Amino acid sequence: MSVKDNLTNIKSELPEGVTLVAVSKTKPNEDIMEAYEAGQRVFGENKVQEMVQKWEDLPKDIEWHMIGHVQRNKVKYMAEFVSLIHGVDSPRLLKEINKQAKKHDRVIPCLLQIHIAEEDTKFGLDKAELHELIDSEEFKALEHIKIVGLMGMATFTDDMNQVRREFAQLKSMYDDLKIKLTDINILSMGMSGDYTVAIEEGSTMVRIGSSIFGARNYA
């Protein structure tokens, strides 16, 4: 199956109101252009350098999402163009994004990453840290970032009941956040292996890579 066919199939399954981020990390520009020509405009990358290179090379109406863990010293390279940063998990990172966004006279939309998985290798805030962050005066003073929702990754397991519980937990934190902040409208959860469950549990944005572009080769 071609990239175009995969994309068309997945899009036909997504309910209205669920945004597809085509995760193009490690994939060449030709693959991205195939998806672009099939109408896809939102792409996700997990390495800043790679995303900057693709942004320079590819059409300027592409919306680039940073979905990976971000090092503070890399924020400056993407502040000019990044459309959404999914993996914000510390006040220090948020402050750096604010600082770099200000230099470009922008307000950068961000998602706070929440730790929902069992594995402790995955990044993210817990519930207490989330509320501590958004209740702080320091956070309220940041005028060049806008928190628009939450992002999370479920445990890598075949146990779909566990995955479902973790997504449900994230959805409940998302609903709580909506009461505290305005502009909360993105719940980024679901990848190739679990996006149907994520959508059933209330996802509004799925990040799908291998089901569109094929398996990644890290060799």
Ligand X SMILES: *Cc1c(COP(=O)(O)O)cnc(C)c1O
Figure out which of the listed residues 46, 98, 100, 203 binds ligand X, where binding follows CB under 6 A. Answer: 46
- Three-state SS for the chain is CCHHHHHHHHHHHCCCCCEEEEECCCCCHHHHHHHHHCCCCEEEECCHHHHHHHHHHCCCCCEEEECCCCCHHHHHHHCCCCCEEEEECCHHHHHHHHHHHHHCCCCEEEEEEECCCCCCCCCCECHHHHHHHHHCHHHHCCCCEEEEEEEECCCCCCCHHHHHHHHHHHHHHHHHHHHHCCCCCEEECCCCCCHHHHHHCCCCEEEECHHHHCCCCCC
State the minimum distance, in angstroms, from the CB of residue 17 to ligand X: 19
55/142 with CB nearer ligand X: 55
Which tokens go with 207?
Answer: 């990040």
Q: Does 209 bind ligand X (CB under 6 A)?
A: yes
State the minimum distance, in angstroms, from the CB of residue 189 to ligand X: 9
Q: Does 68 bind ligand X (CB under 6 A)?
A: yes
Q: Does 83 bind ligand X (CB under 6 A)?
A: no
Residues in 115-144 that interact with ligand X by CB under 6 A: none
Figure out which of the listed residues 66, 67, 85, 205 binds ligand X, where binding follows CB under 6 A. Answer: 67
Q: Does 207 bind ligand X (CB under 6 A)?
A: yes
83/210 with CB nearer ligand X: 210
186/191 with CB nearer ligand X: 191
State the minimum distance, in angstroms, from the CB of residue 99 to ligand X: 24
State the minimum distance, in angstroms, from the CB of residue 122 to ligand X: 9
Measured between alpha carbons, how far is 148 from 182 in angstroms, rounded to an integer?
Answer: 8
Q: Does 205 bind ligand X (CB under 6 A)?
A: no
Closest residue by beta carbon to ligand X: 209
* Residues in contact with ligand X by the rule CB under 6 A: 23, 25, 46, 67-68, 153, 191-193, 207-211
